Amino acid sequence: MTSALKTEYLTINMGPQHPSTHGVIRFILKTDGEIIYECDPDVGYLHRGIEKIAESVTWQGFVPYTDRVDYVCAMNSNLSYCMAVEKLMGMETEIPKRAEYIRVIVSELNRISSHAVAIGAADMDMGAFTPFVHFLREREHINDLLEMACGARLTYNYICIGGVHNDLPPAFLSKTAEFLDHFEIVVEQINRLISYNQIFIKRFANVAVVPPKMAIDYNLVGPNLRGSGIKFDVRKDKPYSVYSDLDFDIPIGSGRAGTLGDCYDRYMVRVEEIRESIKIIRQCLKQIPAGETKAIVKSTIKPPKGHVYFRTETPRGDTGYFLYSDGKTSPTRLKIRTGSFTGMSIIPEIARGVFIADLVAIIGSLDIVAPELDR
Amino acid sequence: MNILQIFEQIKQNTDAVVSFQEDEGPTPSIYVRSDSVLSVMTYLKEEEALDFNVLMNHTGFHETESSKLFWHLFFDVSQDESEDHHHEEIRLFWHLYSYKVEHRVTIESSVPIGKAQMDSVVSLWKSANWLEREVYDLLGVTYPGHPDLRRIMLPPDWEGHPLRKDYVAPTSYHGIDNSPSALTKSFEPKGKSK
């Protein structure tokens, strides 16, 4: 005799206005009690059609839009786009050395602030509000530094095709060195506060394990990929700018609190990357040469007909800009393949069978930023 | 392995119609005729020496001029000299990478706009799932064999595919007015009539 009782799945809605989604992302969850049976992410709430806008603005005119693609690390977005255009124009060797160093300094500073927000937000989602506030306080210092360099605090438009818009103010380098000395200690303090906290580790360890093979199959990038134990960083493996002259390590996940590729591994990769960024900036401060900061670029550029797919390492991983030029003043096609996009596409697979509360941990650990996801 | 060697490998080991494109920008690509894309991709993924285990990016764009660009390269397609060839086409790009061998390749193909259909590669790389949904949403290419082909960026009831060059933005959506205001119109260049 078969039982007449059966489980009925309950479909519930999470988002788009949900405190843990950091932006507007919606999940349609099919749940069996507390357990997620099926998770369908509904993205596109922040789709602004940036790729369509690109078809009607000039090549230089698109740089401010890249700030808005990912406003948590606008410098890195600027850099990705500008280097892609330079590659398309075949002028990547013409960029002055000083400009390259400035680019690396500002984008690594921005990487620190982006990771600080990512870590802080993950802590906050897990119920620890204090670390987030500490990180925001530290981020203010970075915002001050970048404001010194370019006048803006969030959307910079500082890196331009051919170099950077203006040279750094005289006090910038010493202030940056001062900040690094201060921040290195703060990172350890915050780690003691949250990263090594047993309650927090228990919450993140063994949750949403991404095995290396799955990470590659879904094309996870950046810290999410390295959290699964794959040692790949575009800065190291396909060096661009002056990264080949700099000495730094690539932190990878090793299952230090549980299984390889769990939420805690992805989290700790970011913490260690902050330390590596500090190392990179220190070297740049020593090595930065004097000289020009911008190559000579026409006011209206027309890259030759052709296409390029250029990858750079932004805080959310390997960001690829695909450009197709018809030899006109604006791109025929511009496509941005971002880290959040692939990070989001893996969620239906890893969220199956976890608690609803752990979905929040997954989003936090994958560091998904909604505007970058939807573009 | 560089792209020329990869091209020779494909040419020798598959019966796909391929050609080498080197005059388009800094990264040369391999053009594959649309009906043999899946077999070439399967070969690239499964051949030991190539081992392209990651699909980094898949995208496309609406090409309004160069339909003559590609079809004339293939002398053996003269039998399907239908009107399709003189129409506009959608050019598609796949960017593959191998973490093991550390090499990359750009595969290119094109489909006529009237019959925008491409084989899905979701069975090879799971990252293709959302990338193909995006191309379907924004460019209107359908992928037979895709497990879940829905719009991804735009709402399900949206009409048209915005990244096509002939797309006209709607003036209203569910009662939300989107027609340009008098102020917006004042910025339009003079002497340009619609």
- CA gyration radius, chain A: 21
**Which residue type occupies B33?**
R
- CB spacing of A324 vs B29 below 8 angstroms: no
Q: How far is CA A79 from the centre of its chain?
A: 13
Burial degree of B50 (CB within 10 A; 0-12, 13-18, 19+): buried
* Contact predicate B43/B109, CB 8 Å: no
- CB spacing of B155 vs A87 below 8 angstroms: no
A340's enclosing H/E stretch is: helix A339-345
Residue of chain B minimizing CA distance to A340:
B130
Give the pLDDT confidence score for residue B19 in this predicted structure.
Answer: 74
Q: What distances in angstroms separate CA A9 from CA A13, A14, A40, A319, B14, one per listed residue?
A: 13, 15, 14, 38, 47
Q: Give tens-digit pLDDT for A31-61.
A: 888 888 888 888 888 888 888 888 888 888 8
Beta strands at B29-32 and B104-112: parallel, antiparallel or unpaired = parallel
Side-chain half-sphere CA neighbours of A370 within 13 A: 21
**Mapping DSSP to helix (H, G, I), strand (E, B) and coil, where does residue A194 land?**
helix
Chain A residues touching residue B138 (CB < 8 angstroms):
51
Q: Which residues contact A120 (CB under 8 A, 6 or more apart)?
A: A131, A132, A133, A134, A135, A136
Q: What is the mean pLDDT of residues A147-163?
A: 87
Backbone angles phi, psi at B146, to 5 degrees: -80, 135
CA pair distance B5, B100, nearest whole angstrom: 17
Mutate to test the interface with A, among B3, B53, B92, B99 (most CBs of A within 10 A): B99
The one-character DSSP state at A193 is I
CA pair distance A316, A143, nearest whole angstrom: 19
User: Nearest CB to B25: which of A216, A306, A349?
Assistant: A306
Establish if A217 touches chain B: CB-CB under 8 angstroms: yes
Q: Give tens-digit pLDDT for A322-374.
A: 998 888 888 888 999 888 888 888 888 888 888 888 888 888 888 888 888 88
- CB spacing of A217 vs B29 below 8 angstroms: no
More confident residue, B70 or B30: B30
Instruction: Count Cβ neighbours within 10 Å for each residue of B65-81 and write b for 16 or more, e otherwise.
Output: eebeebbeeeeeeeeee
Beta strands at A306-314 and B104-112: parallel, antiparallel or unpaired = unpaired
**Mapping DSSP to helix (H, G, I), strand (E, B) and coil, where does residue B16 land?**
coil
* pLDDT surpasses 70 at B141: yes
B54's enclosing H/E stretch is: strand B54-63
Strand ranges (DSSP E) for B74-121? 89-97, 104-112
Give the pLDDT confidence score for residue B77 in this predicted structure.
Answer: 45
Q: Which residues contact A362 (CB under 8 A, 6 or more apart)?
A: A207, A208, A263, A347, A350, A351, A354
Q: Which of A35, A31, A21, A46 is nearest to A343 (CA)?
A: A21
Q: Give tens-digit pLDDT for A257-310.
A: 888 888 888 888 998 899 889 989 999 888 888 888 888 888 888 888 888 888
Q: What is the mean pLDDT of residues A233-239?
A: 85
Give the closest-approach CA distance of A213 to chain B in angstroms. 9
- CB spacing of A322 vs B95 below 8 angstroms: yes
Q: What is the ipTM of this complex?
A: 0.85
Residue of chain B minimizing CA distance to A373:
B153
User: Nearest CB to B154: which of A47, A87, A349?
Assistant: A47
**Cis-peptide, bond into residue A131, ω within 30° of zero:** no
- CB spacing of A216 vs B53 below 8 angstroms: yes
- Whether the CA torsion B64, B65, B67, B69 is positive or negative: it is negative
Chain B residues touching residue A219 (CB < 8 angstroms):
54-56, 125, 127
